[in-house]
Amino acid sequence: MNLYNYIFRRLLYVIPIVMGVSLLIFVIFNVVAGDPTAILLGKHASLKQMAELRHELGLDRSWLMQYLDILKSAFTFNFGRSWSTKQLIAPMIGTAAGVSFTLVIPAFIVTSILSISIALIAAFYRGRLVDRSLVVVSVIMMSISGLTYILLGQWLFAYKLGWFEIAGYEYGFPHFIPYIVLPGIILVILSIGYEVRFYRTVILDEMYQDYVRTARAKGLPEWMVLFKHILKNAMVSIITNLIIQLPALLLGTLLVESFFGIPGLGGITMHAINNSDFPIIKAMTIISTVFYIIFNLITDVLYTLVDPRIRLS
């Protein structure tokens, strides 16, 4: 199938998915959650105050019209205004996404390079002390709470030693660099344990395939078998994990961005949750859905580049 036709077909699938997500968001926030004016005004608010706020927020309209508003915003990315700050949500998210990218992209690159390299070393020395040590360290790193890394990093490396900024963010390159180094290191530490174990398992699964035995029987050195044959055939699983990790990192940095005062996507989402700012929460839910759809499409296209045997259909 032609690549452009495949991409067009996959993009058509976005329509029913986004419609379904919009319906789910509507049910959760408008039916299950109840009247948000009671949350915004507090328990001592009068019925008149609640009615006025409900009218101001457009919550007194029919459910059909409210659902159509959510559906329209999902395709136009016009999410209206924040309930707490009264700012337009789309520019807020755009600015926050830029901030998150300055933190997440370097952490993602460093994590990917380190984890794949360490997994290759562990696989090369499989069953030996090096391999076992790396696996034990990975499990320990996975077992420690992310909050522990954050608090320890801020107290020891930022407060006591003064190597990094404790919190805050300054816009513009290179002014933001001092503020993202420590949270970036913590993001790497939080991810690398799982990543090393995953990539090690993928590489070891390939090591016992027939083509590997054939390559060894031809007298190829182990390092050549590992890099030229095993790693190449493991790239489909590696790419899948890498591409899916990026939107997860962008939207999953709630703790790190909150503790370090970084105004990224995680930061504004946490602020919206604390202030019951439903429009921002709805917008972030829709955007996360679109992110995953787009990155899944990128993954499928990359499959054909690393493995010619795979055909788009």
By percentage, how much of the chain surpasses pLDDT 90?
7
Q: Are residues 256 and 138 in the same domain?
A: yes
Is there a domain that residue 66 lies in?
yes
Is 33 in the same domain as 128? no
Residue 1, pLDDT above cutoff 60: no
Same domain, 228 and 166: yes
CA 71, 76, 80, 84: dihedral to nearest 10 degrees? 90
Q: How does pLDDT run across 150-179, given as a tens digit for each residue?
A: 889 999 988 888 898 888 888 888 888 999
Q: Mean of the pLDDT values across residues 196-213?
A: 84
CB-count burial class (<10 Å; 0-12, 13-18, 19+) for 12: exposed
Whether 33 maps to a domain, the answer reads: yes
Does 89 map to a domain?
no
Let me know whether 253 and 110 are in one domain: yes
Q: What is the count of structural domains for the chain?
A: 2
User: Does position 32 have pLDDT exceeding 70, yes or no?
Assistant: no
Range of the domain at 197: 101-276
Query: Could you write out the DSSP letters of every residue in 231-254?
Result: HHHHHHHHHHHHHHHHHHHHHS-H
Residue type, position 311, single letter: R
pLDDT of 46 over the 60 cut: yes
- Tokens, residue 176: 């933001």
In a domain, 311, yes or no: no
- Mean pLDDT across the chain: 82
**Buried-exposed string 124-149: b where 16+ CB fall within 10 A, e elsewhere:** beeeeeebeebeeebeebeeeebeeb
pLDDT of residue 181: 92
CATH number, residue 107:
1.10.3720.10
- Position 307 pLDDT exceeds 70: no
The pLDDT value recorded for residue 35 is 66
Question: Do 114 and 252 share a structural domain?
Answer: yes
Structure-token match 């990359």, residue found: 302
More confident residue, 168 or 309: 168
pLDDT, tens digit (0-9, with 9 covering 90-100), for 223-267: 778 777 788 778 878 888 888 777 777 766 778 888 888 888 888
Taking 80 as the threshold, does the pLDDT of residue 74 lie above it? Answer: yes
Distance CA 285, CA 183 (A): 24
Between 65 and 1, the more confident residue is: 65
pLDDT in tens, 4-15: 777 777 778 778
Residues 140 and 59 in one domain: no
Task: Identify whether residues 195 and 154 lie together within a single domain.
Answer: yes
**Residues of the chain above pLDDT 70, percent:** 92
| 116 in the same domain as 64 | no
Inside any domain, residue 166: yes
Distance CA 27, CA 70 (A): 11
| Beta partners for residue 88, in sequence order | 81
Q: Is residue 189 located within the same domain as residue 252? A: yes
- Classify 88 as helix, strand or coil: strand
Q: 114-133 pLDDT, tens per residue?
A: 999 899 888 888 888 988 99
Is the pLDDT at 34 greater than 70? The verdict is no
Residues 106 and 23 occupy one common structural domain: no
pLDDT tens string 131-150: 899 989 998 888 888 888 88
Task: Give domain status of residue 227, yes or no.
Answer: yes
pLDDT at 308 over 70: no
Residues 112 and 253 in one domain: yes
Of residues 94 and 216, more confidently modeled: 94
Q: For residues 71 and 127, state if they share a domain.
A: no
Of 122, 133, 106, the closest CA to residue 250 belongs to 106
16 belongs to a structural domain: yes
d(CA 1, CA 310): 11
Tell me which residue of 247, 246, 245, 243 sits closest to 302, measured CA to CA.
Answer: 243
**Terminus-to-terminus CA distance in the chain, angstroms?**
6
What's the predicted TM-score (pTM) here? 0.80
Has residue 33 got a pLDDT over 70? Answer: no
Helix, coil or strand: residue 70: helix
Please report whether residue 92 resides in a domain.
no
